[in-house]
Structure 1
């Protein structure tokens, strides 16, 4: 692959990933808001329906899209990095007929690369999502970034970075390995030449299933991340570390508490990830795969 084609390929990978990320936010933000509120405040939101009713009654329908301006830009960038890094790693490993372990490592590295952007993006989004009406500390994404940076610097913006890296590496290793394996099975089973010949329902099924697998295994890690990122700073922090957060949650609510908010998450998992991969594959097909 010459330099021009290589640059074009990277641009297409990242552009298609960005498109997939925007679709992901538009479809998944309401589910994510319910999930985060249940994770961070179980006393106020003990169930999925109580969270939905309480939020809608007190704050209106737009409350489910709180903090969405940051993700529309940031998650677009994050998913762009994920897919761009994934496609690059697949080429490093040879591009075709990769083993499950190679796909896992490629996905893990893509997630790790993504964590540089996803930590501050998700941190700001989560803090905006949990704000109740009439008690809002931050007026919006920019205001939150400015206040947190002014008080706590880059370390404040990157609160929860270690647990995010753990989630991203192991989570996206599983996520992309599952997706690629399912897609490859479809290609062989239906005897088509490449993924461009697969139908929409096959891409939707592969993407949605990979999302369900991801969140089923990694949900407790995500819960700990949310608790850390909605916690106070410095002396006002409830948790001294991710391990302390884990032990505190288990001590207070048992191991089942690690799946608090799982219902809206798993309801979100299939449609959001199905549409994310559908958008990515659609964009790649429109631009033309190299």
Structure 2
């Protein structure tokens, strides 16, 4: 085994023998998820409004922002926050928990033969994304319903009073199947997106450790933020059109659905906006990628260092 491999295998991950490792991973994931929500929510509602808008409704990102503030007030940027605050904490804990478990599994499998490969990092991320997709799909559906309901800052009675109201109405009109509408594209997005996401971050961390011959805990916070931001770019550049398809399905009229599946959603996007429609809302998504994922990875890494 090379000196570089020994360094990373020895210092990269906490001991497998730690009986509380899974609990620690999940706890750090929850902390990073909370950080992610507060940074991402204004970007996310802007993205969703653009993705679900009718042709000509908004002319740009600035137009969305100005209309939100004018018609619904500044707090509109945090519509539907309760759902992701609870749900994304759980989602991110699954993502990081499964990813860390898979990394330790590959470490054990590789033994003294060498480092975890980039392909294995991608597989770790895919596993974490697939596991998370089953939880992310209904959570995002509820959040999107809240984010896309419009009104003049309380002048009109909202269709949904909160997450439970959304769940009740969706279930009443279509049962569990309607609540999980968009599960297919969510699983695809999460699997390939998280594969690119975690592979990019871990690849950069490994490179830093090997080149500088330092421990993971010695990597500066600003570099963790940089690596997290680049991981966010990698994710969205990999799967963004899939996210548009998912959002289109989840903003379909739930009382009289017009879209049965991803093929129907794709046809609707093409009909309304052409191929450009698959990149509606891309600007706020890519703008948020750096700060949101910088905060996510920084919170996770610092929590891991603190907990041990």
- TM-score w.r.t. the length of structure 2 is 0.89
Partner residue of 1:270 out of 268, 271, 290 = 290
C-alpha spacing 1:91/1:225, structure 2 compared with 1 (3 Å): same
Shift of 1:42: 4.1
Listed as ranges, the matches of 1:1-290 within 5 Å are: 5-43=17-55, 44-94=57-107, 97-133=115-151, 134=156, 136-192=158-214, 194-233=215-254, 236-288=256-308
* Aligned pairs, number: 284
Any gaps of 5 or more consecutive residues in structure 1?
none
Shift of 1:116: 1.5
Shift of 1:190: 2.1
Instruction: Determine if contact 1:47/1:261 at 8 Å carries over to the other structure.
Output: no
Separation (CA, whole Å) in 1 of partners of 2:121 and 2:133: 18
Separation (CA, whole Å) in 2 of partners of 1:130 and 1:213: 27
Instruction: Determine if contact 1:107/1:169 at 8 Å carries over to the other structure.
Output: yes
- Name 2:4's counterpart in structure 1: none
Q: Deviations over 1:194-237 (max 9, x none)?
A: 21110001101100001011112211110111110111237x22
Shift of 1:251: 3.4
- TM-score w.r.t. the length of structure 1 is 0.94
Instruction: Determine if contact 1:186/1:202 at 8 Å carries over to the other structure.
Output: no
RMSD: 1.7
SS at match of 2:133: helix
Q: Deviations over 1:44-101 (max 9, x none)?
A: 2231010000010000000000000010010000000000000011111116721111
Any gaps of 5 or more consecutive residues in structure 2?
1-15, 109-113
Q: Deviations over 1:162-195 (max 9, x none)?
A: 1100101111011101110011111122221x21
SS at match of 1:273: helix
Shift of 1:137: 1.2
